[in-house]
Amino acid sequence: MPPGSERRLRRNNRLIVGTLAALAVLVTAGLVWTSSRLPDTYSVMGMGHAEFGGGPADPVHGGHAGHGWDGPPRQLGDRDVTGLTGPRDRPPDVAVELVAARDGDRYTLNGTTPGPELRVRQGDLVEVTLVNESVPDGVTLHWHGVDVPNAEDGVAGVTQDAVATGGSHTYRFVAEDAGTYWYHSHQVSHAQVRGGLFGTLVVTPPAGEAADHDVVAAMHTYGDGPTVNGRDGLRVDAAPGEAVRLRLVNTDNEVKRAWTADAPVRVLAVDGRAVHEPVPVTDAAVTLPAGGRVDLGFTVPAAGTAVRVELGGVAVVTGPAGAPDPPESEPPAETVDLLHYGTPAPLGFDPDDADRTFEYRIGRRFGLVDGRPGMYWTINGGMVPDVPMFVVSDGDVVRMRIENSGADNHPMHLHGHHAVVLSRDGEPATGSPWVVDSLDVGRDETYEIAFVADNPGIWLDHCHDLSHATAGLVAHLVYSGVYTPFRIGGPGANEPE
């Protein structure tokens, strides 16, 4: 062989090897990309991996690892979500129609945002008919903090199909627990909630317990800054000596603080659950996680001055008509620590005798989801769709340790249940039972919570910073034997986050 052709051959070989290597990289990247693609439609029943928390496994949710999750579940459960409804066999005590509409980035219910304030009495059977007039992506209503039966929970693709334009859906539930709640769409919620598709819901206690003034204040940021009930401030006329219950609702994605320099306040309730023996505090703020509620109690000063409750850029002023607005006050350095506020009371169950114990460890890393590279949240090390499905049985006492090692806070919201906070960073709770449905887990914080699994269904357990939820911070709690026929995507174009 002439020396020149040997060189050419070596060159050609190098070229072939180089081409094959480049091809291998491309094919690998392509496979990774393809395997990260989410199916157009899938069931949350089949996604991720089941965790049993030390309790018995369940054949319906038997430890699968994401294989075939775009197909039907391996075995149908004996309890279909659609059967887990509120009472259908008697007339409602309260019937409301809410008509959803979209105009640009703004969403309304019955022409307003927030939607109408719903006030019902404890024990009422509530019927709400949601009509979608003009929201192209479809809508649902989730009753945030109300432990409704699963079929009434309003999560697109999990408990129902999103209501398409021109359609309607009727929700029915008994308002069993007095307290402050809110409702919002759980379809494309990161856009719809921020854009205004929400309202407040108050369940009033039996007569005799009411304050002289019972006021709801929804704290919401639209495109153009903070508002209270959609306005730039709220004024309530109240005489000296009168008692006020101010129900704060944080409908934003960020944690909020509220405070006043004008009167001692008591934290009467958190997330719709009464605080036991709340003491008056001065010079301390209360915090509200995204989605959380706090009821403040105070008395209009005998001197006839007004009380200005600061909500961060907006305020609620309560006082005699004509009394001047108090000046704005600086945020106090102190914050009411609910871990030690109020006094203990029986929980009604023993968290030390748990049937299941789960970890909910939140992290963050680079990855591909649905072919899109980016930073994504992880739960127990897995990235969506490889997130845990926490499996419980009816009546279980459940403990959960929520650990946040990320650089951001996460307002964790468990649907369908209230949980009691046991500890933060190992420090035990010593005050009133601190009962929540929305708990802000700050950066590098760890909380232990416990609850009783007393509401069968399949429930979201997710971050209520809805921009985090869209980036994968969503897991599910499922009861043994429960099955949902609904699917993410599909004919309903369901997209809960």
State the minimum distance, in angstroms, from the CB of residue 127 to Cu ion: 33
Q: Are strands 198-204 and 179-184 parallel, antiparallel or unpaired?
A: antiparallel
Does residue 468 interact with Cu ion by CB under 5 A? yes
Cis omega (within 30 of 0) for bond into 116: no
State the minimum distance, in angstroms, from the CB of residue 475 to Cu ion: 12
CA proximity to 185, closest of 119, 120, 294, 102? 102
Of residues 51 and 465, the one with the C-beta less far from Cu ion: 465
State the minimum distance, in angstroms, from the CB of residue 463 to Cu ion: 3
Segment near Cu ion (CB under 5 A); pick from 53-61, 91-99, 179-187, 465-473: 465-473
State the minimum distance, in angstroms, from the CB of residue 197 to Cu ion: 20
Options 315, 463, 466, 477; binder of Cu ion; rule CB under 5 A: 463
Per-residue binder mask for Cu ion (CB under 5 A), 411-450, x = binder? ----------------------------------------
Name the DSSP letter for residue 278.
Answer: P
Of residues 64 and 364, the one with the C-beta less far from Cu ion: 364
Segment near Cu ion (CB under 5 A); pick from 66-74, 197-205, 277-285, 403-411: 403-411
Does residue 101 interact with Cu ion by CB under 5 A? no
CA proximity to 146, closest of 412, 416, 434? 416
Of residues 108 and 409, the one with the C-beta less far from Cu ion: 409
State the minimum distance, in angstroms, from the CB of residue 291 to Cu ion: 11
State the minimum distance, in angstroms, from the CB of residue 380 to Cu ion: 15
Tokens 């432990």 map to which residue?
147
Segment near Cu ion (CB under 5 A); pick from 197-205, 253-261, 276-284, 402-410: 402-410
State the minimum distance, in angstroms, from the CB of residue 395 to Cu ion: 30
Of residues 61 and 462, the one with the C-beta less far from Cu ion: 462
Work out the burial of residue 381: count CB atoms within 10 Å of its CB; fewer than 13 is exposed, 13-18 middle, 19 or more buried: exposed
Q: Where are the beta strands (DSSP E) in 300-338?
A: 307-310, 315-319, 334-335
Instruction: Kindly determine how many residues on this chain lie close enough to bind Cu ion according to the rule CB under 5 A.
Output: 4
State the minimum distance, in angstroms, from the CB of residue 441 to Cu ion: 8
Collapsing DSSP to helix, strand or coil, 32 comes out as: helix
Q: 204 vs 114, 120, 136, 404, 465, CA distance in Å? A: 20, 6, 35, 35, 28
**Which amino acid type is present at position 400?**
M
Does residue 131 interact with Cu ion by CB under 5 A? no
In whole angstroms, give the CA distance from residue 459 to residue 463. 13
Q: Which residues contact 3 (CB under 8 A, 6 or more apart)?
A: none
Segment near Cu ion (CB under 5 A); pick from 18-26, 52-60, 410-418, 481-489: 410-418
Of residues 214 and 408, the one with the C-beta less far from Cu ion: 408
CA proximity to 495, closest of 174, 58, 126, 192? 192
Segment near Cu ion (CB under 5 A); pick from 4-12, 60-68, 245-253, 409-417: 409-417
- Structural tokens at position 67: 């294989």
Of residues 229 and 404, the one with the C-beta less far from Cu ion: 404
In whole angstroms, give the CA distance from residue 185 to residue 139. 6
Does residue 465 interact with Cu ion by CB under 5 A? yes
Of residues 394 and 445, the one with the C-beta less far from Cu ion: 445
- Structural tokens at position 102: 């979209």
Of residues 126 and 379, the one with the C-beta less far from Cu ion: 379
Of residues 132 and 378, the one with the C-beta less far from Cu ion: 378
The strands making up 168-174's β-sheet, listed across from edge to edge, are: 106-109, 94-103, 125-132, 168-174
Pair 433, 345: CB distance under 8 Å: yes
Of residues 271 and 465, the one with the C-beta less far from Cu ion: 465
CA proximity to 401, closest of 383, 380, 378, 417? 380
State the minimum distance, in angstroms, from the CB of residue 462 to Cu ion: 8
Of residues 293 and 462, the one with the C-beta less far from Cu ion: 462
State the minimum distance, in angstroms, from the CB of residue 363 to Cu ion: 12
Of residues 448 and 465, the one with the C-beta less far from Cu ion: 465
State the minimum distance, in angstroms, from the CB of residue 497 to Cu ion: 12
State the minimum distance, in angstroms, from the CB of residue 471 to Cu ion: 9
In whole angstroms, give the CA distance from residue 91 to residue 17. 77
Q: 271 vs 147, 164, 336, 431, CA distance in Å? A: 11, 31, 15, 16
Segment near Cu ion (CB under 5 A); pick from 382-390, 396-404, 464-472, 485-493: 464-472
Options 410, 413, 418, 424; binder of Cu ion; rule CB under 5 A: 410
Within 10 Å of residue 129's Cβ, how many Cβ atoms?
Answer: 15
State the minimum distance, in angstroms, from the CB of residue 461 to Cu ion: 12
Region of residue 479 (phi > 0: left; psi between -120 and 50: alpha; otherwise: beta): beta
Does residue 190 interact with Cu ion by CB under 5 A? no
Q: Which residues contact 313 (CB under 8 A, 6 or more apart)?
A: 225, 226
Of residues 120 and 463, the one with the C-beta less far from Cu ion: 463
Positions in the binding site for Cu ion (CB under 5 A) = 410, 463, 465, 468
